[in-house]
Every structure is written in structure tokens, then in C-alpha cells.
Structure 1
Amino acid sequence: MNGREYRIDELAHTAGTTVRNIRAYQDRGLLPPPRRVGRVGPAPARRPPARAGTHRAEHR
């Protein structure tokens, strides 16, 4: 292409294909792996869902 960096959806649109195909090309080694930028760390810990029918006030 032109040396510009693309997000995967932009690359797919520009190339006239789908994001799924771009990922398949990466898996087969036809495209280099993406350069990761931004939010690349693990997701923050999530609290487990509350049990059905319980409220904080009930546990006092």
C-alpha cells in the first residue's frame, strides 16, 4: 500500500475485503501481525454479579 498505518476495519474497506479475511491472512502469515496501540493490557477485574433477589440492605 502506501506505508500508512491502518486500523483493521480501514484496511479491509480499502482492500475491498472483510475484517475476517484480513485476520485469516494474518493467521496464514500473509500479513504481518498488527502493531498494538492503546488499550493492550488485561481488562480490569470485574465484580461477580449479585445473587438474584439479594440487596445490600438485606445483609446488614
Structure 2
Amino acid sequence: MDIWRKSSYSGPDDGNECVEIATAPTRIAVRDSKTPTRATLTFPAPTFTTFLEALKSARLR
């Protein structure tokens, strides 16, 4: 069973306009917090880490 947590960048008030993430040693799962029973995107952990590093790098420019 995945344990989901909301993004630290959730919107104001109850923060329902965000994504949720669940981590496991080999994969990262992402879903829309407004519709948690719908589709979930799952990525290999190294791929997701590379993606986050690219986002952080782009923000620093």
C-alpha cells in the first residue's frame, strides 16, 4: 500500500490543487489530489530523480 503525501507547494486553504507523491525504493508514483482514485503515473526512481534535478537547475537560471 502506498503512503501518499501532498506537495509542499500546495495551494492556499486546504491545498486541494496539487499533486501527491508516493515513494518506494524502485519507483515514484504521482497522482492528482483532486481525483486520487483515477490514473497514477509511475516512474523508475532514477528517472524521476533526474527529472527533479533538471527542474531545479532550470529554476536557478
The TM-score with structure 2 as length reference comes to 0.30
The higher relative CO (CA closer than 8 Å, separation ≥ 6) is in 2
More helix by share: 1
More strand by share: 2
The TM-score with structure 1 as length reference comes to 0.31
Question: For the pair shown, which has the larger CA radius of gyration, 1 or 2?
Answer: 1
